[in-house]
């Protein structure tokens, strides 16, 4: 006859094998690809919505949270004090464990709500890049400063060369290197020693650095560091910064923002005004060729995908992403042909810069839209099928451009079976585990 302790052990073992818990330590998660791979996640929301485990007040900002080692890291802006902050919270309770605060003048910054970049957490350190280019390396446990660099001051980025919407390219760890966008002559991209902050290499020149996060992808066995600035898409050697290839892609208003996406030996990028571009790499040459390019005239007259912020997702033969006025679209990845579109996910109607962040999970997607709604849906070539929706945070930001539209423009983190969402007033932890 089974004893009680044996029953408890059996239940615990069964739970452990059915739930895979991961961290979300950087932009787009553990593998920097935006896919949520944890198991044991609910299929639809319960009546009344998912359980909110905690809510913690914070200041304003666009920074998505990072979750690692039982802690949550996020940046905010204290407007009255004129400071930026890096905050560390307990993952289970939301209690603030430490705060690092520093003076930061937002003079001349467009959309001055707060910092933009998701922290990068790695080997007991947290790397935080503020809106005006303050780059801190902090001890993840104590919050003490290990090193600090001010990128615009050290790389002479000023005037028209300063990114008008602030530093927004999420830093990338590669070996001993911390790779980020700096700007300035010959230093659009820089690699710093992750332990000391000392420069290892610098590369590329452009009128401004843009806002696109550096990414490393492998094509035909060779690693390429993708740096997309407002004049060209570039591939560098990650170890040295040496240029491998460059494809001209001049952009209006410097809006190189959405994360480039790899699909086999292809690379896909999309810009708000200038639309999509699909490149392909051959085994016998470094320079990629153009598979197709969008033919839309501008952000209003679009034919493909003109994204302002959200990272597109490629599955099978199709691309899913959000276009310039909130159209969630499906494209044929081989031709760029539009298969379908809907406004249902982003707000129900056409609106400039309307957004939803797409996160694939198993056979469905989690979508967090600018209204503060978390949605579970199927996205297939046949269309958009909404399974469940819950309103979880209040839109507190300003969409600007005279729209008077309240928005949330911050990518969630998914870790430990939970979603971590923030607006300009609070960060919340939402339980998405199956009972």
Structural domain range at position 338:
310-408
Per-residue pLDDT reduced to its tens digit, 374-395: 999 999 999 999 999 999 999 9
Helices (H), 181-257: none
Coil, strand or helix: which one is 15?
Answer: helix
Q: Are residues 404 and 418 in the same domain?
A: no
Residue 87 lies in a domain: yes
Per-residue pLDDT reduced to its tens digit, 204-252: 999 999 999 999 999 999 999 999 999 999 999 999 999 999 999 999 9
Q: How far apart are CA 145 and CA 138, in angstroms?
A: 5
Q: Are residues 335 and 426 in the same domain?
A: no
Q: Are residues 402 and 424 in the same domain?
A: no
Residue 224 lies in a domain: no
Q: Are residues 33 and 114 in the same domain?
A: yes
Q: Are residues 382 and 423 in the same domain?
A: no
Residue 420 lies in a domain: yes
Strands 406-407 and 397-398: antiparallel
Q: How many domains does the chain have?
A: 2
Residue 192 lies in a domain: no
Q: Return all residues near 237 (Cβ < 8 A) that are at least 6 apart.
A: 223, 225, 244
Strands 96-103 and 83-90: antiparallel
Q: Are residues 391 and 337 in the same domain?
A: yes
Question: In whole angstroms, how far apart are CA 417 and each of 18, 67, 178, 427?
Answer: 12, 12, 29, 16
CB under 8 Å, gap of 24 or more: what pairs does 274-282 form? Answer: 274/249, 274/250, 274/306, 275/302, 275/303, 275/304, 275/305, 275/306, 276/304, 276/305, 276/306, 276/331, 276/336, 277/233, 277/249, 278/333, 278/336, 279/233, 279/247, 281/219, 281/220, 282/220
Q: Return all residues near 86 (Cβ < 8 A) that are at least 6 apart.
A: 73, 74, 75, 99, 100, 101, 119, 126, 128, 136, 138, 143
CATH number, residue 347: 2.40.10.480
Q: Are residues 397 and 423 in the same domain?
A: no
Residue 343 lies in a domain: yes
Q: Are residues 416 and 400 in the same domain?
A: no
Residue 234 lies in a domain: no
Per-residue pLDDT 10s for the chain (435 aa) are 444 444 434 434 443 335 578 999 999 999 999 999 999 999 999 999 999 999 999 999 999 999 999 999 999 999 999 999 999 999 999 999 999 999 999 999 999 999 999 999 999 999 999 999 999 999 999 999 999 999 999 999 999 899 999 999 999 999 999 999 999 999 999 999 999 999 999 999 999 999 999 999 999 999 999 999 999 999 999 999 999 999 999 999 999 999 999 999 999 999 999 999 999 999 999 999 999 999 998 999 999 999 999 999 999 999 999 999 999 999 999 999 999 999 999 999 999 999 999 999 999 999 999 999 999 999 999 999 999 999 999 999 999 987 889 999 999 999 999 999 999 999 999 999 998
Residue 15 lies in a domain: no
Residue 108 lies in a domain: yes
């Amino acid at each position: 006859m089974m004893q009680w302790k044996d029953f408890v052990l059996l239940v615990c073992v069964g739970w452990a094998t059915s739930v895979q818990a991961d961290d979300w330590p950087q932009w787009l998660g553990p593998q920097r690809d935006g896919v949520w791979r944890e198991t044991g996640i609910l299929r639809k929301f319960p009546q009344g919505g998912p359980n909110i485990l905690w809510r913690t007040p914070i200041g304003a900002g666009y920074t998505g949270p990072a979750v690692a080692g039982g802690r949550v890291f996020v940046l905010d802006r204290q407007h009255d004090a004129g400071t930026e902050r890096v905050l560390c919270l307990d993952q289970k309770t939301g209690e603030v464990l430490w705060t690092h605060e520093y003076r930061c003048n937002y003079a001349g910054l467009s959309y001055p709500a707060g910092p933009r970049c998701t922290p990068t957490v790695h080997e007991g350190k947290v790397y935080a890049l503020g809106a005006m280019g303050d780059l801190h390396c902090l001890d993840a446990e104590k919050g003490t400063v290990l090193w600090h660099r001010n990128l615009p001051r050290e790389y002479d980025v000023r005037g028209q060369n300063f990114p008008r919407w602030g530093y927004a390219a999420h830093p990338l760890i590669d070996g001993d290197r911390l790779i980020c966008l700096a700007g300035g002559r010959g230093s659009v991209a820089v690699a710093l020693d992750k332990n000391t902050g000392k420069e290892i290499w610098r590369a590329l020149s452009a009128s401004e650095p843009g806002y696109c996060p550096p990414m490393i992808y492998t094509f035909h066995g060779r690693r390429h560091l993708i740096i997309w600035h407002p004049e060209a898409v570039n591939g560098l050697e990650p170890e040295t910064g040496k240029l491998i290839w460059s494809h001209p892609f001049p952009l209006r208003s410097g809006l190189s923002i959405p994360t480039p996406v790899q699909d086999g030996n292809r690379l896909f990028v999309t810009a708000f005004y200038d639309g999509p571009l699909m490149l392909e790499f051959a085994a016998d040459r470094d320079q990629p060729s153009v598979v197709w390019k969008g033919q839309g005239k501008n952000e209003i007259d679009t034919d493909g995908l003109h994204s302002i912020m959200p990272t597109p997702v490629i599955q099978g033969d199709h691309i899913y992403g959000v276009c310039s006025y909130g159209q969630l679209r499906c494209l044929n990845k081989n031709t760029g042909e539009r298969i379908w579109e809907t406004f249902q996910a982003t707000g129900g109607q056409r609106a400039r810069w309307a957004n939803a962040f797409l996160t694939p999970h198993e056979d469905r997607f989690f979508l967090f839209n600018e209204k503060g709604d978390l949605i579970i849906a199927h996205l297939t070539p046949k269309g958009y099928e909404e399974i469940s929706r819950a309103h979880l945070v209040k839109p507190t930001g300003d969409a600007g451009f005279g729209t008077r539209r309240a928005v949330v423009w911050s990518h969630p983190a998914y870790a430990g079976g939970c979603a971590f969402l923030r607006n300009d007033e609070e960060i919340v932890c939402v339980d998405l585990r199956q009972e």
